[in-house]
Each structure stands twice: as C-alpha cells, then as structure tokens.
Amino acid sequence: MTNKQIIPNAIEIAENVAKIIFENSYQSDFLARSFGKTEVKDLLLFGSALTGKSYKRPDEESPKDIDMLIIHQLGELRELGMFTKYDKEKLKVVPDESADITEKRHSAYSILEALGSKFGPCNYEIRDETRDQLRSNVRKRDTYGGNLYISEIGELNIPKKEFEHHSDGFRHIFEVFDKAFDTKVASKFTVNLVEKYLKNQSLEVNSALDLLAMHKDLLNPERGQEYRQDALRQSKKDPTFWNSILTSGRLYNLETGKFDTSFETKYFGIAELFDPEKVEY
C-alpha cells in the first residue's frame, strides 16, 4: 500500500516509530523490560524509505510509505506473519498458498495492535479484565478513600452514593471507567502511541506504514524450516522477496537510535535460508 504524499523525513519517522515500539510493546518479563528488552526482537527497515526507490514502482518518486519488518516472539502477532485459511479436510487453519505477500498485506494497524503494551499482550483482554475487576469491586462495595479503586487506573472519582444503586449509578460507573481507561491505559497501547505520533506528522497509520511480521524461529537454522517454506510460497510472484529484504534492509540499533546495522551483522548467513535458489519449497 502507498501513501499519496511523499514522506520527506521517512527515516526519521521510522526511527521514532521504532523507538515507540521498543519502549512500549509487550514484555512478559518485567525485569527484562527494565533493561529495554521486549518481545519484539528486531525491527528491519527496507524499501523506499531506506533507498529512495519504491520496491513495487521504481520509477515513482519515493518514499510514499515506510516498509518495516518486525522480528518477534509474540503469540498475538504470529498469526499475522502470513495469510491463512481454514482447511475443511484437515479441519484446521493452514497457510493460504493462493495468497501473495508481495501484493497483499495485513494492515499496519492490526499488526501494531498485536504488539500489545506494557499492560499485557492483548489490548482487548486488558480492557475486559479491568472491567471484570470493576464489576467485582462494585458488587463487593470495594472502595478506596471514598472512591472506587481499580488497578492500572487508580481511583475513579465516583462518590459512594452513586454506585450503591444498581441502575443509573451502575451505568454511570462504567461511563466514568471507559473515559478513565482510555486516558490512563488505552492511550499507552503501542498502536495508539504510534497513531498519535503519526497524526502529529499529518500521517495515517495504514497509509504511512507497510509492516511485515516474522517470528524469530524462522531465523533459526535448526527450526522453522516448514514456516520458511510457507513464507517462500506466499511470495511466489517474487521468490527473492524475503532474501532481498533481509540482505538490503537495516536493523534498528537501540544504542544509536538509528537503522544502521546490516542484517548480516547480527544474523550471519541467515538470509540464505530464504534464498529460493538454495531452499526447496
């Protein structure tokens, strides 16, 4: 997908988006987060933002979007690494071999949503679990300092008399909760932070970002061969697609805040695992 407008400062925007992702996406280990580590392992910038030339339309003025590969170990994101379909004979979801990743993408917004936040891996579960806590506290008349206290949010400014009655007062609690949740929790979801940043640059998520996702297991020579073969099948119009991205792209450097590290520097020899001339698929 391409944006209608040229993005003159695309690399700078990509660097800031990468910083937001690394600082705010989900991390299962709190201690690891304190050292700046998340379930997102690497971000690879490729395409027109890096080269000044469009991958699909080399004659067009570029860049009109920012191409980025997210290397991760997130369960929520794994299913967005490729296109799938339900196989009625096998009675399970399988890779859709008719899909072509070079022509079709999952939306950038859905991929960013799957990155979760500091609060948890799934944004929808966070809201549901917090609302369940609210329901439980209302039933128990659990209050703090005269107001209702909810973890992650803190005090909800609702006088006791309003939630002792189950009708209008009860509905009012959830109206207050939704506003407080959006302000104190949802605003810190990775997808919302990126969306806010891009909006300040007069850009929209799905038109400015062209994102791909790859589970880190695919970069392990001892594992992931079946998934690598699936990835190659889903780039059948251009079998060199994945190898080209990995060899030409640049990884985000947490120390410099720049996309200044070649893929080969960190993952020596791994790009060859996606070379269609060397891999049977």
pLDDT for 31: 47
**pLDDT tier for residue 58 given thresholds of 50, 70 and 90:** low
Task: Give the torsion sign (CA, 186, 121, 35, 247).
Answer: negative
Task: Give the torsion sign (CA, 255, 14, 115, 129).
Answer: positive
Beta carbons within 8 Å of 265's beta carbon, 6+ residues apart = 251
Q: Which of 146-150, 162-166, 257-261 has the highest mean pLDDT?
A: 257-261
pLDDT beyond 60 at 8: yes
250 in helix, strand or coil?
A: strand
- pTM for the model stands at 0.80
